[in-house]
Structure 1
Amino acid sequence: MRGKILRERPNCNHSCKFVQSLVLEDMEARSINTNEHSNEEPKVINSDGSSFEANNGSLAGYNSLYHLLESNLPPSLFKEASRLLLGVNCGKMVSPMPMPNSVYAMAKKKSFDLQAYRFNAEPEMMRPPRIVRVGLIQNSVVLPTTASFSNQREAIMQKIKSMIEAAGASGVNIVCLQEAWTMPFAFCTREKRWCEFAESIDGESTQLMKELAQKYNMVIVSPILERDINHGETIWNTVVVIGNHGNIIGKHRKNHIPRVGDFNESTYYMEGNTGHPVFETCYGKIGINICYGRHHPLNWLAFGLNGAEIVFNPSATVGDLSEPMWPIEARNAAIANSYFVGAINRVGTEVFPNPFTSGDGKPQHADFGHFYGSSYFSAPDASCTPCLSRYEDGLIIADMDLNLCRQVKDKWGFQMTARYDMYAELLANYLKPDFKPQVVTDAFLQKESS
């Protein structure tokens, strides 16, 4: 089948459509075989400790789209597909970056995916490079959800500790963890007992992060389930930003709470009240757009208006709901707002003791779906890295020259050409009860209706 397709290959001007048709026809012909890949189909821990094959949403058992193409395209076509898929940074593809052998050994021992890349900027006459090494960590839960909550959290904390230690050994300056990293993403169940995982801003997980931040001279972005002791023990979906001296710089609460499918988060917490803060660290200005906020362009915009150079998007989302959107939204935000974005998603399938329903007519089920990982970085010039695995724990590292943010602003002028006054006027009018949309109706339509 593939030989026939290659003989009919069109010219490079149509390479994008050709790559798409090649992959689709290969899949239809079942020529993509999961046995060709080094990664086995993932196992899922049942509530009783047994395992079953994951329903991970992929048609071909692939580890990532990048590896799917790499494994099935001729080198020349894969190079062109990579250019279209990942973009170009300073005239070149985003290049892999070697890490110390000791770090690869740590990744192998702890069984997590390790990738590293470099984003460049053009040399400047007046400013030296501002290179920051940034890491993203995606992880699965460790124990069955029937284990004691304290044991579940401790097991996850020990896993994350070893992965942060690998980041520290790699010279990472800033690392961001996934949404609600200390617990299973149990908000689908609507059971209030999971509130026990909530902790104060300076709770157990933060104490561990403070130790690691100070040890490795690292800024750590730690998303947790917060219990606000001073305000009636209200629960929030919160990110704690810990400075490289082991100090708490500040916190930010999730702005947008989903009400779709199994995302029953509003049963536990409501919209945050911290605005769109940008945290000025010794390595750069960072913002955090938590999970569902990535679907709201104005949320991304607000962090840019406040001066962010890097915006993290710690998430927990599943394949059936959002996977086609995942490689687009964070990348588009990086382009539109001229900053770097690090998108993080948890990985694995979490099974809960009591089946629950989604309120959409589907039968009751005990799992949320497959969290497909696929964490990645995107740059303001539209270049991006390949994603981490859909199945495995992972650490992805990127060196980024923050000078690229201003260079892209100067080149494209998105901020200069924006019409903030018009947008502000429209939004102000939209909030009024008597708002009327600005619609110009064809006069012939009016005549026909009369």
Structure 2
Amino acid sequence: MTRLAALQHAMSPDIAVNLATAERMLATASQQGAKLAVFPEVQLSPFFPVRAGGDASRYAMQKDDPAITALGEMARKHRIVTVANIYFQGRDGERFDASPVFDADGTLLGISKMVHIAHFEKFWEKDYYASGSGFDVYDTAAGKLGIVICYDRHFPESYRACALQGAEIIATPTCNLAGEPLDLFAWEMRVLAMQNSVYSILANRCGVEDDTGYGGHSVIAGPDGSLLAEAGDGETVLFADYDLSERAEIARQRRWLAELKPWLRPETRG
């Protein structure tokens, strides 16, 4: 058995303060034996899309930004596969809600971008984010890891796209408000995990930013749909044990992915 961790915390307007929080929480996760840790959505800033038409350029980071380098160094120091989430600016100037993924040796394996962009009250994300072009799966020291960011999880095809690429674990950094149906979201993660025979990890923000509260209640679900762990509404490092051989046996017995009709597979469709 090895261990997964969702790092649930509140954010400061100060990037340095948020990096210090990241260091502290990764240290705790590593000390408790976690091999994979997942941070909430846009972990280095307040959740700026809560307001339409703002300017969040101070938080936009390119690949060589010192903050991204620091996160990679933390992953290396604590020997833990790390899924971060930042406001990322590509070389062409487009900006994304994106997750840098670091292996346990600190190597940056890639930066996955959110594909579906929300745009409604409290989530004016199209004012800030461009769309990514697909879903990524990485070979890591903790297993084959897929990335599905926040709003993308409401599109079941996102988890299925990762599972069809061989994902064993799927990480979902997110930002859920205190007033949203958090119990329903926990069931959502359980169903996605069950339907795709994967471990799912939803890492949410908590705390209050100006007049908006964030809900916490991060979730880790098993490949059989079981609820392995659920956080409360405060800062916590949420742990659950995982077993990839057990996951493989569940997938073998259910055969849902193997029996999926070829014409439903993305690579066979125009």
Q: If the TM-score is normalised by the length of the shorter chain, which range does it land in?
A: over 0.9
| Counterpart for residue 237 of structure 2 | 395
Shift of the 214–377 alpha-carbon distance from structure 1 to 2, 3 Å rule, reads: same
Q: Does 1:379 align with 2:241?
A: no
Counterparts in 2 of 1:113-128, with a 5 A limit? Answer: none
**CA–CA distance in structure 2, aligned partners of residues 244 and 300 of structure 1:** 23
If each structure's strand is expressed as a fraction of its own residues, which one has the higher value? 2
Residues 6 and 201 of structure 2 are in contact (CA less than 8 Å); yes or no, is this contact kept in structure 1? yes
**CA–CA distance in structure 2, aligned partners of residues 279 and 427 of structure 1:** 23
**CA–CA distance in structure 1, aligned partners of residues 47 and 262 of structure 2:** 38
| Counterpart for residue 44 of structure 1 | none
Deviation sequence 1:222-279 (CA, Å, 0-9, x none): 1100012x21x22111100112222211111001111222210100112112x11100
SS of aligned partner of 2:176: coil
Q: Which of 303, 315, 334 in structure 1 is aligned with 2:193?
A: 334
Which one has the largest radius of gyration?
1
Q: Does 1:370 align with 2:232?
A: no
**CA–CA distance in structure 2, aligned partners of residues 278 and 424 of structure 1:** 15
- Amino acid of the structure 2 residue aligned with 1:184: P
**CA–CA distance in structure 2, aligned partners of residues 134 and 422 of structure 1:** 31
- Amino acid of the structure 1 residue aligned with 2:231: L
| Counterpart for residue 321 of structure 1 | 180
**CA–CA distance in structure 2, aligned partners of residues 299 and 190 of structure 1:** 26
TM-score by length of structure 1 reads 0.57
Deviation at 1:158, TM superposition (A): 1.2
Q: Which of 165, 170, 179 in structure 1 is aligned with 2:41?
A: 179
Deviation sequence 1:364-391 (CA, Å, 0-9, x none): xxx3x4211111210111212231112x
Q: Which of 409, 413, 430 in structure 1 is aligned with 2:251?
A: 409
**CA–CA distance in structure 2, aligned partners of residues 184 and 320 of structure 1:** 18
**CA–CA distance in structure 2, aligned partners of residues 276 and 265 of structure 1:** 19
**CA–CA distance in structure 2, aligned partners of residues 207 and 155 of structure 1:** 16
| Counterpart for residue 116 of structure 1 | none
**CA–CA distance in structure 1, aligned partners of residues 68 and 41 of structure 2:** 14
Counterparts in 2 of 1:77-88, with a 5 A limit? Answer: none
Unmatched segments (≥5 aa) in structure 2:
none
4+ aligned runs moved over 6 Å, structure 1: 423-427
- Amino acid of the structure 2 residue aligned with 1:214: R
If each structure's helix is expressed as a fraction of its own residues, which one has the higher value? 1
Unmatched segments (≥5 aa) in structure 1:
1-130, 143-148, 352-366, 429-450
Deviation at 1:287, TM superposition (A): 0.7
TM-score by length of structure 2 reads 0.93
Q: What is the alpha-carbon root mean square deviation over aligned residues?
A: 2.0
SS of aligned partner of 1:319: coil
Residues 144 and 167 of structure 2 are in contact (CA less than 8 Å); yes or no, is this contact kept in structure 1? yes
SS of aligned partner of 2:208: strand
Shift of the 425–194 alpha-carbon distance from structure 1 to 2, 3 Å rule, reads: closer
Deviation at 1:191, TM superposition (A): 4.3
Question: How many residues align structurally?
Answer: 270
Percent sequence identity over matched residues? 24
Deviation sequence 1:25-69 (CA, Å, 0-9, x none): xxxxxxxxxxxxxxxxxxxxxxxxxxxxxxxxxxxxxxxxxxxxx
Q: Which of 414, 419, 436 in structure 1 is aligned with 2:261?
A: 419
- Amino acid of the structure 2 residue aligned with 1:295: H
Deviation sequence 1:370-416 (CA, Å, 0-9, x none): 211111210111212231112x1110122210112221122222123
Shift of the 226–423 alpha-carbon distance from structure 1 to 2, 3 Å rule, reads: closer
